[in-house]
Structure 1
Amino acid sequence: MTDASAAAPLPHPAPVPRLDELIGTARVVALPLITRFRGIEVREAVLIEGPQGWTEFSPFAEYDDDEASAWLAAAIDFGWNAQPAALRDRIPVNATVPAVDPDSVPAVLARFPGCRTAKVKVAGADQTLAQDVARVRAVREALGPEGRVRLDANGGWNVDEAEHAIHALAPFDLEYVEQPCATVEELAEIRRRTRYMGIPIAADESVRRADDPLAVAEAGAADLLVIKAQPLGGIRRALAIVEAAGLPVVVSSALDTSIGLAMGAHLAAAVPTLEFDCGLGTASLLAADVTRAPLVPEDGSIAVRRVTPDPELLDRYAAAEERVDWWLERLGRCHDVLRLRDAQ
């Protein structure tokens, strides 16, 4: 790991356009999901056309304005600035398996053609370890011995629960376990306890939702990082975190539309070394998208390209008026946060 104290400071986010420039082209959409995921059945997003193309602002509803403002900074960066040079034109991606019954696993995986890696959601508040084991077993059986299975606990276990669960799930030959516990201290402890098993620990929320995204690397609490363009404030800032942390990374998404996934694909294309399949195939979890050429997996990968929404689809999946008002008011508040930041 690079000594973060000696690393160059993270880049300042892009200058903030006027609010009317953002709202002038903003479209708020509500896209149904194939299956309930992360507690929601409809994914809402604000799509904005900037000088460089369309971009996305879609922080989850429970995030406060300070946290959501990083997502707006990323949207501005992608829509208003040229992006770093791409080192690859396609990004290998994983399938994502929500907390479904084992019998539903084959149908979920079929939506990710060619993907030989699957990320399986575990540790849900409404799920038992026995259900997690059954789901992971079904994924391993579907992928066969050569497929790669990774788990995502979203910080749902304490250290003792995580240790017990990892022991129970280890027979399925895990690629890694993502965010088994919530805090950096807990991640460091579970990594210490399970190191002899040879199962890497990945950090996600401890990077993207942390005041200091480098703290997890400094603490030796993870073997790799999961990075996402929107929560980290944009592609350039995410790349700076990768460089400073000095750990392998997986580029992932937050259940974005294809426009947000395009941002993630551009980030993955600019990462110097990409050792793992990325979590950028999640358009396959949407029952609808804003383009007739969505960024869904083809032969296990997605293309690195900008996405332009289809006007008819924008109209068809336009959010209800009260939700449009809610999102535009939120955008305005986050814009205020960014303007105050720039003034400091």
Structure 2
Amino acid sequence: MEPNPYPGLPVLRDGAHVVSLPMRVKFRGILHREALVLQGPAGWGEFSPFPEYDDDEAVPWLASAVKSAWEPFPQPVRSSVPVNATVPAVAADQVEKVLARFGAVPAVKVKVAERGQILANDLERVSEVRRLLPDAGIKVDANGGWSVEEAVHALTLLSEYGLEYAEQPAADIPGLRAVRLELARRQIPVPVAADESVRKESDPLLVAREDAADLLVVKVSPLGGVARALEVVAEAGLPAVVSSALDTSVGIRAGVALAAALPELPFACGLGTLSLMEGDVSDQPLLPDGGALAVRDAPVNPDLLERYAAAPDRQQWWLERLERVYSKLALAPETGR
């Protein structure tokens, strides 16, 4: 086995800060987003796998954080990245308020298939987005919440609003493939995008080999860093859109670096999610301006780290998680490559 390329755990702990950022609206069932950010010689990295993710699943997230803090980002091929607004599974009468936080955007991603809601809620939400933004691109994200039959039925109805694509309409790769084939058979013009079937699979290229998606949604952290994400997109041979994992500006910066380095970027990216938060770790947050994010740094402000510091018990929880996940990364550093 090659020597562990990552810095020692004490170095990571010394540069680590745990924050809890309040959300403007409930998203993924949470009202506060917790994250651990750490500082290295190249800048800052973010380690923020959601609490329900197990330690094995969190390993590439830590590899990504370390690479961001210890290695420079690849050279960009564009100076700005187009971004979409994100509308959570809110009631239709709240859509306008959510969109107002993003300003002018070329596209909107709408959450659908929320547990506890029905298809009528999704149709009302998407209809309201289309009413407010008649010329914007609309994409829907089901987070794997539909069965194949439900997905085909829902997307047949939602296609009337002119969708750019449907993100993870079924839970697994066979389901995605079945949805994609049935939509094609019915001549429903909704491309299928894979998200969880890329970032949660041990083989992120399987979805491409199975011909289960028309494009990939890639996130830096679950793939182990910007360089690895670029490799996955190149090897898959499919169009890609970059999305965030509800990150602070530290994580968004890595997403912008990925989007800026991709040879082609046919869709607006889901990197405007800081607009859903009340706070950030930077006083120069990476918020969209005119529907785009500039390729720039977002310096971390020590005062904000203190203001949004997580409660002591949550800090301890994250530091213990850091130690456990680091032990796995140190034993198998290739996991994060």
TM bracket, shorter-chain basis: over 0.9
Give the whole-Å Cα distance in 2 for the aligned partners of 1:14 and 1:340.
7
Residue pair 1:250, 1:278 contacting (<8 A) in 2 also: yes
Report what 1:328 is aligned to.
Answer: 319
C-alpha distance in 1, partners of 2:161/2:334? 52
Task: Tell me which residue corresponds to 2:194.
Answer: 203
Q: Displacement of 1:13 after TM fit? A: 12
Which one of the candidate residues 297, 300, 304 is aligned to 2:291?
A: 300
Match of 2:162 among 166, 173, 177: 173
Distance, in Å, in 2 between the alignment partners of 1:270 and 1:77 is: 16
Once the two structures are superposed, the pairs formed by residues 143-158 of structure 1 within 5 Å of their partners are 143-144=133-134, 146-158=135-147
Instruction: Report the equivalent of 2:265.
Output: 274
Contact 2:42 2:69 in 1 (8 A): yes
Deviations 1:109-136 (CA, angstroms, capped at 9, x unpaired): 1111121200000001111100010000
Partner of 1:319: 310
What is the deviation of 1:159? 0.3
Q: Which residue in 2 is equivalent to 1:105?
A: 95
The one-letter code matched in structure 2 to 1:18 is G
Look up the SS of the partner of 1:28 in the other structure: strand
The counterpart of 1:94, out of the listed 84, 89, 108, is 84
Looking at structure 2, the residues matched to 138 and 176 of structure 1 have their Cα atoms a distance apart, in angstroms, of 18
Instruction: For structure 2, list consecutive stretches of 5 or more residues without a partner in the other structure.
Output: none
| Superposed CA RMSD | 1.4
CA contact (8 A) 2:103 2:291 kept: yes
* 1:112-164 Cα distance to aligned partner (Å, 9 max, x none): 112120000000111110001000000011111x2110000000000001011
- In percent, how many aligned pairs have the same letter? 53
1:217 aligns with 2:193: no
Pair 326,246 (structure 1): closer, same or farther in 2 beyond 3 Å: same
Q: Distance in 2 between matches of 1:75 and 1:306?
A: 15
Aligned: 1:161 with 2:150 = yes
Q: Deviations over 1:80-127 (max 9, x none)?
A: 012211111211000000001111111111111121200000001111
- 3-state SS of the aligned residue for 2:296? coil
In the alignment, the residues of structure 1 paired with residue 290 and residue 241 of structure 2 have an alpha-carbon distance, to the nearest angstrom, of 19
For residues 61-72 of structure 1, the aligned pairs below 5 Å read 61-72=51-62
**1:13, 1:73 within 8 Å by CA — same for their partners in 2?**
no
User: Are the structure 2 counterparts of residues 211 and 58 from structure 1 closer, same or farther at C-alpha, using a change threshold of 3 Å?
Assistant: same
In the TM superposition, structure 1's runs of 4+ consecutive aligned residues that sit over 3 Å from their partners are none
Task: Output the CA distance in 2 between the equivalents of 1:14 and 1:250.
Answer: 32
2:236 equivalent in structure 1 = 245
Shift of 1:16: 1.1
Distance across 1 between alignment mates of 2:150 and 2:188: 16
Distance 1:136 1:13 in 2: 51
Displacement, 1:311?
Answer: 1.4
What is the aligned counterpart of 1:23 among 13, 19, 22? Answer: 13
- The correspondence of residues 37-52 of structure 1 with structure 2, limited to 5 A, is 37-52=27-42
In the TM superposition, residue 306 of structure 1 has moved relative to its aligned partner by: 2.2
TM-score (norm 2): 0.96
Q: How many residues get paired?
A: 332
How far off is 1:53 after superposition? 0.5
Aligned match for 1:58, one of 28, 31, 48: 48
Amino acid at match of 1:247: L
Q: Which amino acid aligns with 2:314?
A: R
C-alpha distance in structure 2 between counterparts of 1:198 and 1:96, whole Å: 22
How far apart are the structure 1 equivalents of 2:73 and 2:304?
27
Displacement after TM superposition at 1:343 (Å): 8.7
Aligned match of 2:26 in 36, 49, 59?
Answer: 36
AA aligned to 1:33 is M
- The reply on whether 1:341 has 2:332 as its aligned counterpart is yes
Distance 1:89 1:44 in 2: 30
Shift of 1:205: 0.1
1:233 matched to 2:224? The reply is yes
Give, in whole Å, the separation in 2 of the partners of 1:90 and 1:19.
35
Deviation (angstroms), 1:14: 8.6
Distance 1:297 1:339, change over 3 A: same
Aligned to 2:113: 123
